[in-house]
Amino acid sequence: MFDFRWESIAWYGVFANLAFYTKLWVKNFNGDSEAIRLFISVFALASTIVGIWYLVTYGLKISWVSAAIVFLIGMGATFFGVFIERLTGWFTLSLISIIFCPVAAYMMLATLK
Q: Where are the alpha helices (DSSP H) in 28-63?
A: 34-61
| pTM (two decimals) | 0.90
> 7 CB contacts (<8 Å, ≥6 apart)?
111
- Of the candidates 17, 7, 28, the one whose C-alpha atom is nearest the C-alpha of residue 101 is 17
What's the gap between Cα 12 and its chain centre?
6
Q: What is the dihedral of CA 65, 61, 104, 20, to 10 degrees?
A: -40
The pLDDT score that the predictor gives to residue 1 is 64
pLDDT tens, per residue, the chain with 113 residues: 677 888 999 999 999 999 999 998 899 888 889 999 999 999 999 999 999 999 999 999 998 999 999 999 999 888 888 888 899 988 898 899 999 999 999 999 999 87
